Structure 1
């Protein structure tokens, strides 16, 4: 910016491309062009915005709904693949009746029992904090399904955690097999009977 009495040197002196400035009340203001890269960005942004709007309305560009539908489809494919590799196991009384007489499942259950259950029920099932598992008395029912369900949901008010998130249905069935095998054995130290006599198979 310059005045008539205080002229500013022109940075474009000698350049044939100088843009003449404007003069107002003796004040001269030069109108310099924008940098080329700035102008290019402006035009590119405008063209991109125009193409994007056209694309959204013609299906050339995916909308949010399109992306959501695609993501849900991919999720469904992953879910189906997981289910095919990990089929849902249904445990019922018939299944457990076969499991409790399988020596391999009893052995698998013993390993699981030793790792988690022995701390409360004693390694031989005689009972410590938890009840004695070797007698015919049961607090929450003594059928195979009763035992399976107690292992699944636990007894939080008595300090027994639910094991559904830790052990699979097959592993819980193996635990039932081992617990059932303890009935009638003689532990080193048997805790007093608790609950009611269960006379079923």
Structure 2
């Protein structure tokens, strides 16, 4: 009677706990968050522990029953090989001969006392070889006879689908920013916005009028990382030289604001700041660099400008 009560209690506990866990997982937004729902974890751990303990008890009971059966039959349990099934399986799939049986597969070859055994291929190797033949036939029929699309064709198809999805997204979101096609802005509203962002983030290094301070002068024709709108945009977006240039602003400013700041910086070309810093970098004239009128940069070296 006691055994039946334990079994019923076990089934009830497993059933109720499983139902509660499923309900919690469906109801809670973050059911596995230890801080928000600790009871879920408590129930889960308890369920696993009860199941594991139940299985341990079952295995122990089976072992005791087996030992009693061996005693009745007069068999010593220590003489029983519990891994006999595994050894038989391994022997079937390797077709290996025991050392005592190797004399039956010896060949007549004898090289200085070294004898050769006539071992056959292991069954697992043979079946794997047959499987590769079947795979090769299926592959041949599917791709070279039936004309199924190969990897290159599938790649092109997926790229085309991705382009269509991207075009659809851009059409649905006309205000999406395309960094590859960024262009100079000249309207007063964009320049005013760029100036406001510049005054908030850039004047500490470049001065309010762009004359330079810690950073270079933005009003002359010399540029350390290349002139022109796109180079200026990329410099602001990605940052200057590693370890000694301007930080990258892509994590702080929106791309649209970086575009407006770069446009405002370009509008400073040719203006006269109050205290202009000496030119740094290479002179930039219509996308062409010149070594004339160059001075060393503040860090003592000049980097090649990035061409547009």
TM-score, normalised relative to structure 2: 0.39
Q: 1:111 & 1:193 partners in 2: Cα distance?
A: 25
| Larger relative contact order (Cα-Cα within 8 Å, sequence gap ≥ 6) | 1
Q: Deviations over 1:73-97 (max 9, x none)?
A: xxxxxxxxx997796411356x423
Select the residue among 168, 178, 183 that pairs with 2:269: 183
Cα root mean square deviation, aligned: 3.4
Aligned to 2:183: 96
Q: Secondary structure at the match of 2:243?
A: helix
Q: Secondary structure at the match of 1:157?
A: coil
In the alignment of these two chains, the number of paired residues is 136
Change (3 A) 1:151 1:46: closer
Q: 1:190 & 1:125 partners in 2: Cα distance?
A: 8
Q: Secondary structure at the match of 1:96?
A: coil
Q: 2:180 & 2:285 partners in 1: Cα distance?
A: 19
Q: 1:46 & 1:171 partners in 2: Cα distance?
A: 59
Q: 1:121 & 1:188 partners in 2: Cα distance?
A: 12
Shift of 1:182: 0.8
Aligned to 2:239: 154
Change (3 A) 1:40 1:115: same
Q: 1:198 & 1:138 partners in 2: Cα distance?
A: 7
Q: 2:192 & 2:14 partners in 1: Cα distance?
A: 72
Q: Secondary structure at the match of 1:192?
A: coil
Change (3 A) 1:86 1:165: farther
Q: 2:274 & 2:8 partners in 1: Cα distance?
A: 88
Gaps of 5+ in 2: 20-25, 27-168, 288-308
Q: Secondary structure at the match of 2:10?
A: helix
Q: Deviations over 1:120-176 (max 9, x none)?
A: 001110000100001111111111110010001111332411001111111110011
TM-score, normalised relative to structure 1: 0.57
Change (3 A) 1:133 1:46: closer
Q: 1:46 & 1:137 partners in 2: Cα distance?
A: 76
Aligned to 1:105: 190
Q: 1:159 & 1:199 partners in 2: Cα distance?
A: 23
1:117-132 equivalences in 2 (<5 Å): 117-132=202-217
For the Cα contact (< 8 Å) 1:92–1:145, is it kept in 2? no
Gaps of 5+ in 1: 1-32, 53-61, 63-81
Q: Which has the higher helix share?
A: 2
